[in-house]
Amino acid sequence: MPTLLEKYTPQDLSGFLGNSKAIQEVMANLGKKPVLLHGGPGVGKTLLSHLVAKKLDYEIYEVNASDHRNKESMESLAQIAKQQSIFGKKRLLLIDEVDGLSRADAGGSAELVKILKDNPCPIILTANNAYDKKLQTIRTYTLLVPFTKVNYLSIAKRMREICSKEGLECDDATLKAIAQRANGSVRSAILDLESLIVEGKLLEAKYLSERDIEDNIFNIIKVILKTQKIEAVKDVMRGLDRQPFDLFWWVEENVCKEYSGADLARAIEWLSLADIYRQRISRRQDWILLRYFIDFMTLGVALSKNEMYRKYVPYGFPTYVQKMGKKKLNIEEDAKITEIGEKMHCSKNIVREELPYLRQFLKF
């Protein structure tokens, strides 16, 4: 069953939320000069690139900058940029997360500048921070198009539309609270919205857990599922800001959306092996196995594909973690209902029926 993020990802520019000025600038200048889209995670930089390609009937060729960091890989990318699509379409080159290049990648950066100067086909680059010092030369050869955070009222309106289509009852206060908490990221808001749906009903925003820094793990997942370079995976894993066990569920959730066929079968085999080691570590506290667990779920999965997938994939929050969170909420609520029933000398069923009224007087 598709997640809300998958179901309600815009299919054309008319459904894209916010940053209308950025859309106009990209449409007006694409092909004249390489365009550098910059702004925080979750505001739609990569999605817009795919929608623009669809609108203009371009074949999009997407790469992650961390996967093309040396001179040789950039030279091969330059040749690809000059080639015509096998279907005769014009090619759009998307270089994602260009700020992921490090100062050690000087050879790759120099070759990238050559591609930008030559401008063999329409080029879009994305970055979270376009004003990083290492991008100084790249900025010279690109048109900078800023992406701002999406207004929370616009996000709340989009979620209201989703609730209506899903047949969910919702109140404005809850939707606004979710939207404000998302900090301008439509993706985060929709993930939070889905986490509050329990048995076809929308819980209040107070049931949301404290927000983890999801931007970090989304970037790591993207590299693992897009790259075929061992060095790129190892580099991005050094920045992991949570337990490796958490990452496992994110990989397991999203690999099925990205991979297909034999690639998916190989990736699942590696994840199965990683899961065996995960359970051994948990049961036996045999932490020497941790490095193998990490390599199986990251390098094993990354190298399972024959080539990078070019489609846009809206990565989602792990279903398993959502279910466990909802189960915890249900357990906590059931314990409170039992306690109230004992004090009021009535059954749990009666307490449940009176919950809408009891919530007005009790911290529930």
- pLDDT single digits (tens) 145-199: 999 999 999 999 999 999 999 988 888 888 999 999 888 889 889 988 888 887 7
pTM: 0.76
How sure is the predictor about 310, in pLDDT bands with cuts at 50, 70 and 90? Answer: confident
How sure is the predictor about 222, in pLDDT bands with cuts at 50, 70 and 90? Answer: confident
pLDDT for 168: 87
pLDDT for 359: 58
- Clarify whether residues 202 and 226 are in a common domain: no
Domain annotation covers residue 255: yes
pLDDT for 74: 81
Instruction: Summarize the confidence of residues 234-243 as an average pLDDT.
Output: 81
Residue-averaged pLDDT of the chain: 84
How sure is the predictor about 352, in pLDDT bands with cuts at 50, 70 and 90? Answer: low
What letters, b where the CB count within 10 A reaches 16 and e where it falls short, cover 204-233? ebebbeeeeebbebbbbbbbbbbbebeebb
pLDDT for 361: 58
Contacts of 250 (CB under 8 A, 6+ apart): 217, 220, 221, 315, 318
Q: Which domain holds residue 239?
A: 214-302
- Clarify whether residues 60 and 98 are in a common domain: yes
The residue from 276, 302, 328 where one domain ends is 302
Domain annotation covers residue 99: yes
- Clarify whether residues 26 and 139 are in a common domain: yes
- Clarify whether residues 258 and 333 are in a common domain: no
Instruction: Summarize the confidence of residues 139-145 as an average pLDDT.
Output: 94
pLDDT, one tens digit per residue, over 110-129 is 888 888 988 789 999 999 88
pLDDT at 224 over 80: yes
- Clarify whether residues 89 and 132 are in a common domain: yes
Domain annotation covers residue 80: yes
- Clarify whether residues 197 and 234 are in a common domain: no
What's the CA gap between 46 and 39, in Å, rounded?
11
Domain annotation covers residue 97: yes
